[in-house]
Chain A
């Protein structure tokens, strides 16, 4: 066997066309996951009655099952739910018109929500309560204290975890091939089978993921430097 370097390059170029799909899945799931995660984290921190146990079991269940099962459950379960609701309310919308990538968005957002809630929670807990009291003492309202004092610090504290979750979701986006979304892994499969060169195609895919992950890590390091500026320590 000889490694076909020329083909790795062609595969690489072809795989690049699938990168936007993978990034879109990552971005949507991370964004929606952050929204869900923040809501869940706030519910759990304030111990909101009724919602609190629901949020807790949501997080435990999602974190205890593979991402793939979430995707499969959503892919087969959501259409039944949507059609039932549409029928009950006499809407013309049917599940058939949901694009395949929509299932990936919904399911990965639910997955990311559970993991993000832990990220947000630990970030909020990292801010000393005394700071909020100090904010109240100089006359800030709760929302002001949150916006100006707590959130900037919580964000800085949770950046490393956040970057790990983003990388996790990026790597998780490879699962979307099970619902026939053509992301990097599916594209690699297509490129490999049409040319019968599997090793080269997956090597190219691995290089792409490695590069994106590396970039995310670099960006996080830069952001961390910027957001931790206030936290210099020492006396000056």
Chain B
């Protein structure tokens, strides 16, 4: 990468923004498909841990440890170069498969590890007594799960899920290293061709920012919708309680003027 660029001109930022937008769909394709597959993988990995299945539990522990203990960039290369060779042993030829599929697979397995943790935490957070109560009113195990545990576990895990999706979106910027023409890959060719490096990367950053900002707002909305079952009076009370706790904990004591900031916020 030669660093002699054209002089900075802010007007190019918008122009490149428009030029980058078409590649957004590849980025989103990677995000959506890897999140969907990742959820499935997460469930499969979380189950042995939730039900404490002896040998499988070890396997899922190693899986989690590996995918959380190595950078996603290394995983990308590892799967891209390693998987065809391993599959060759069982006489499956994947040489002609486009790199995009390897990218999606890697991100799916990577986010699957985090999804498993999320699922484990969410299911653990639902009180066991509620399942027993469901049995007491005559529900079957399946009914108790779908009607009682799942809705609550979903509401609990929405903030974590939102973080995972946004992290996944940001990680997709690494797919350019395998030659995928998503946002970052496209921006690099654009920058090298036009020699307006800074302007291109500013518009790249703006696109990423807008998507993650939008996702954050969207998930916030979903969370509020899912938490509707906590009746309004309770949730209002809870909110003020949280606010109170926050101000009680901090706002006063550490002021530059000792104390005396009681009325703030």
Are B171 and A66 in contact, with the CB atoms below 8 A?
yes
Residues of chain A lying within 8 A (CB to CB) of residue B255: 46
How many of chain A's residues touch chain B, expressed as a range?
35 or more
Give the CA-CA distance A174 to B209 in the complex, in Å.
22
B143 close to A (CB within 8 Å): no
Q: How far is the CA of A3 from the CA of B69 in the complex (A)?
A: 23
Known: A45-B250, A172-B71, A199-B78. A69 touches B8 (CB 8 A): no
Q: Chain B residues with Cβ under 8 A from A202's Cβ?
A: 74, 77-78, 81-82
Write the nearest CB–CB distance from B102 to chain A, whole angstroms: 13
* A169-188 interface code vs B (CB 8 A; 1 in, 0 out): 01110110000000011001
Asked if B73 is at the interface of the complex by the 8 Å CB criterion, the answer is yes
10 residue pairs, one from A and one from B, having the closest CB atoms: A132-B253, A171-B71, A198-B81, A76-B197, A213-B69, A66-B173, A66-B170, A64-B212, A199-B82, A1-B85
Give the chain B neighbours of A146 by CB distance below 8 A.
Answer: 254
> In this complex, what residue of B is CB-closest to A172?
B71
B254 near A210 with CB under 8 A, answer no
Most buried by B among A63, A64, A132, A171: A64
Q: Which residues of A contact B108 (CB under 8 A)?
A: none
> How far, in angstroms, from A60 to B198 measured CA to CA in the complex?
20
Question: Cβ of B190 < 8 Å from any Cβ of A?
Answer: no
Main secondary structure of the interface of A (DSSP, over half): helix
A209 touches B201 (CB 8 A): no
Interface residues of B in 75-94 (CB under 8 A from A): 75, 77-78, 81-82, 85-86, 88-89
Contact A128 B184 (CB under 8 A): no
Q: Tell me the B residues contacting A by CB distance below 8 Å.
A: 3, 5, 8, 65-66, 68-75, 77-78, 81-82, 85-86, 88-89, 166, 169-171, 173-174, 184, 191, 197-198, 201-202, 204-205, 208-209, 212-213, 216, 246, 248-256, 258-259, 264-265
Of B198, B216, B251, which is within 8 A of A77 by CB? B198
Q: Which residues does chain B contribute within 8 Å of A185, judged by CB atoms?
A: 71, 73-74, 77
A184 vs B73: C-alpha distance in the bound complex, in angstroms? 11
Q: List 8 A-B contacts (CB under 8 A).
A: A3-B85, A45-B250, A60-B213, A61-B205, A64-B213, A65-B170, A65-B208, A69-B173
Report yes or no: B198 in contact with A73, Cβ–Cβ below 8 A.
Answer: yes
The complex places the Cα of A192 from the Cα of B213 at a distance, in Å, of 39
- Find chain B residues with CB under 8 A from A64 CB: 166, 208-209, 212-213, 216
CB distance from B195 to the nearest CB of A (A): 10
Instruction: Evaluate contact between B250 and A124: CB separation under 8 angstroms.
Output: yes
Taking a contact as CB atoms under 8 Å apart, the answer to whether B208 and A66 are in contact is yes
- Chain A residues lying within 8 Å of B197, measured Cβ to Cβ, are 72, 76-77
Nearest CB on A from B176, distance (A): 8
Q: A76 is contacted by which of B69, B201, B246, B249 (Cβ under 8 Å)?
A: B201
Q: Once the chains are docked, how many angstroms separate the CA of A46 from the CA of B198?
A: 34
